[in-house]
Amino acid sequence: MIWVDQPYVTLMASLPAIRFLTEKEPPINRQRLMERLKDLPPADQETLRELTEVVSWRFVDTTQDDAAFLARAAALLERIASPTLAAAVRQRLELRTVIAALRRRHAGEDAPPKGVRWGFGPHLERIRASWSLPDLGVAAFYPWLPAAKEALDAGDTVALERLLLETAWQQQARHAEGHEFDFEAVALYMLRWSMADRWARYDADEARRRFAELLDAALADAPEIPEAA
């Protein structure tokens, strides 16, 4: 009921709308967002922290093996009381699993051995068994997969990143329907903010890399300038 969700009304009304991929940076910076989130009860803050750490790439520890990460994700899913949030996390982890499989196969790796926990979702066995198929046998479940494969094969990392973030954004938006002023709304806002932040960073990194490439190309043809005596 809305009258027991009131701590979230002020918070949600104080957060600016995020227009994904159309802004150079999120409309609220990390510091201000964290300031606003301090108004939440400690238990909610803890859940948000765990949720962000599992879902956001920013917090993924590349030194940690898949099994440890999956165990952490499973533990979080058991603790999350909200079915909406649990569904959002599951969908995000599934997306990450499928794209990881695509990337691993693209890199020439073999299918994960049987009995090893390597991903998340209901189609792990099907993906493993269909490793050699272009769509890993699961395009019917993940409509974005053919486009992702195409971008990966073409080496177009920007298009791939954009496609994945757009897909994840649309999934989150569907979960957010009907949640305006409750904890789910806050958590899903946080996840969308993470995506917008990631895209903004990615964009800046990509721009820097491209600038460096252009600079190198331009300087390669430039005449040598004799040093002053």
Partner 1 sequence: MSDLIVLLGWLGIYAPVALGALGSAIGVAIAGQAAIGAMLETDGGYGRFVGAAAIPSSNVIYGIVVMFALQQPVTVQNGGALFSIGGLLGIALFYTGVWQGRALASAIAASKSKTEIFGLALAPAAIVEGFAVFAFVFALVLAGGIA
Contacting positions for partner 1 (CB under 8 A)? 2-3, 6, 9-17, 27, 36, 180-181
Whichever of 4 and 140 has its CB closer to partner 1, that residue is 4
Q: How far is the CB of 192 from partner 1 (least distance, A)?
A: 15
CA distances from 155 to 35, 71, 137, 179 (A): 39, 32, 22, 38
Token pair 């479940």: residue = 141
Whichever of 50 and 182 has its CB closer to partner 1, that residue is 182
Backbone φ and ψ for 107, nearest 5 degrees, come out as: -80, 0
Whichever of 6 and 157 has its CB closer to partner 1, that residue is 6
Q: How far is the CB of 50 from partner 1 (least distance, A)?
A: 25
Q: How far is the CB of 1 from partner 1 (least distance, A)?
A: 9
Q: How far is the CB of 228 from partner 1 (least distance, A)?
A: 53
Backbone φ and ψ for 9, nearest 5 degrees, come out as: -65, -50
Whichever of 2 and 75 has its CB closer to partner 1, that residue is 2
